[in-house]
C-alpha cells in the first residue's frame, strides 16, 4: 500500500522535508512518520504540521499531492523506492539522490538532481535552473543517474557534471555543460548561449532544428551517424520519452572543445 502525503499547509514560507524518503520511512509507523522533523523557514516542525498522512510505507512508494511549489528537498538522498508527485513542486527535487525513481506530473523548481549519484528523475512538465548541477563551490555536479525533463529548463544545466544523462525535451537557457567533466546532456528544443564553456570531457547534443552559436574554442571535426546515439535514443524511448524515427536516423556535426581546456569534450548538432 502506498504512503500518501497530502499537503495542507497555508504559508508562503518554504517548507523543507529533507530526509523523508521511502527507504527512511519504510520501517516506521504512521505515528512515527507524522513526527518526523521538517523546517518551516528557520523553525523546526514536524511533518504532520503540513501534511495529511495515510496509507502504508512498507512497499517503498510515496505519493505526494497538493500545492507543493513551496515544498523543497523532496527525495533528497533517496536510495531506494519510488516517489510520485501530482502537481508542481519546489527546489532541490532529488538532490544527492543515490537510487530509486521520482516521477513528477507537473513542474519542478531549481536544482533538480543537484549532485545526484544515481536513480531516475522524470519531470513531465518544466524545470528551473541548475538541473543536475554542482552546488556553489563544489567540485562535481551530477555523478550518475538519469534526469528527464519533458518541457523547458533554465540556465547552467549539467554544471560541472561528472557522469549520467540529462535530457531536456523543450527549450533550455544559457551555459549548458559549463565546466562539464563528463556525462551527456541532450536538448531537443532551442537554447541560449555559451554552451560547453570550460568543458573537459562529455557530450552536449542538440537535437532541435535551431542550433546555438558555438564558442570559438570549439572546432568542427566530422559529420557522421554515431551508433551510440541510436542505442541511447532507444533506451530513452523505453522510459516513455517520445523519440521519432527521424531522430534515430539522423546525422550529426561533431565539434571538439573546449580547446582552452584540452578539447576532449564534444558538441553534436543534428543535421
What does the pLDDT look like over 167-199, one tens digit per residue?
A: 999 999 999 999 999 999 999 999 999 999 999
The reported pLDDT for the residue numbered 225 is 94
What is the rounded CA–CA span in Å between residue 256 and residue 49? 53
pLDDT of residue 243: 93
Backbone angles phi, psi at 122, to 5 degrees: -125, 110
- Rg of the chain, C-alpha, whole Å: 19
What does the alpha-carbon distance between residue 62 and residue 117 come to, in Å, rounded to a whole number? 20
- % of the chain with per-residue pLDDT over 70: 100
> What is the model's pLDDT at position 1?
79
Grid cell of 67 as nine digits: 500545492
> Using one digit for the tens of pLDDT, what is the confidence trace for 61-120?
999 999 999 999 999 999 999 999 999 999 999 999 999 999 999 999 999 999 999 999
* SS3 state of residue 11: coil
As a whole number, the mean pLDDT across the chain is 96
Strands (E), the chain: 3-7, 15-16, 37-40, 43-46, 51-55, 61-65, 71-72, 82-86, 101-105, 117-123, 144-149, 165-168, 184-187, 203-206, 219-224, 252-257, 265-270
Q: Which three cell numbers stand for residue 142?
A: 551530477
The share of the chain scoring above pLDDT 90, in percent, equals 98
pLDDT per residue as tens digits for the range 150-170: 999 999 999 999 999 999 999
The residue among 135, 53, 138, 49 whose CA lies nearest residue 91 is 135
User: Domain residue spans in the chain?
Assistant: 1-69, 91-270
Amino acid at each position: 500500500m502506498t504512503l500518501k502525503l497530502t499537503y495542507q499547509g497555508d504559508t508562503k514560507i518554504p517548507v523543507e522535508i529533507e530526509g523523508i524518503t521511502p527507504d527512511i520511512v519504510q520501517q516506521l509507523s504512521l505515528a512515527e512518520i507524522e513526527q518526523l522533523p521538517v523546517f518551516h523557514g528557520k523553525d523546526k516542525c514536524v511533518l504532520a504540521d503540513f501534511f495529511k498522512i495515510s496509507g502504508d510505507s512498507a512497499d517503498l512508494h510515496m505519493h505526494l499531492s497538493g500545492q507543493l511549489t513551496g515544498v523543497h528537498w523532496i527525495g533528497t538522498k533517496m536510495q531506494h523506492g519510488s516517489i510520485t508527485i501530482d502537481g508542481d513542486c519546489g527546489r532541490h527535487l532529488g538532490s544527492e539522490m543515490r537510487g530509486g525513481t521520482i516521477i513528477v506530473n507537473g513542474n519542478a523548481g531549481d536544482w533538480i538532481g543537484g549532485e545526484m549519484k544515481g536513480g531516475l528523475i522524470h519531470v513531465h512538465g518544466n524545470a528551473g535552473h541548475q538541473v543536475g548541477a554542482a552546488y556553489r563551490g563544489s567540485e562535481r555536479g551530477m555523478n550518475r543517474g538519469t534526469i528527464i525533463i519533458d518541457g523547458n529548463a533554465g540556465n547552467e544545466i549539467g554544471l560541472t557534471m561528472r557522469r549520467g544523462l540529462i535530457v531536456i525535451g523543450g527549450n533550455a537557457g544559457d551555459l549548458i555543460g559549463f565546466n562539464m567533466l563528463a556525462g551527456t546532456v541532450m536538448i531537443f528544443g532551442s537554447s541560449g548561449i555559451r554552451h560547453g564553456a570550460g568543458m573537459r570531457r562529455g557530450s552536449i547534443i542538440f537535437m532541435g532544428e535551431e542550433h546555438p552559436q558555438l564558442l570559438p574554442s570549439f572546432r568542427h571535426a566530422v559529420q557522421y551517424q554515431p551508433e551510440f546515439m541510436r542505442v541511447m535514443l532507444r533506451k530513452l524511448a523505453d522510459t516513455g520519452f517520445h523519440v521519432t524515427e527521424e531522430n534515430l536516423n539522423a546525422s550529426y556535426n561533431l565539434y571538439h572543445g573546449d580547446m582552452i581546456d584540452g578539447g576532449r569534450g564534444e558538441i553534436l548538432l543534428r543535421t
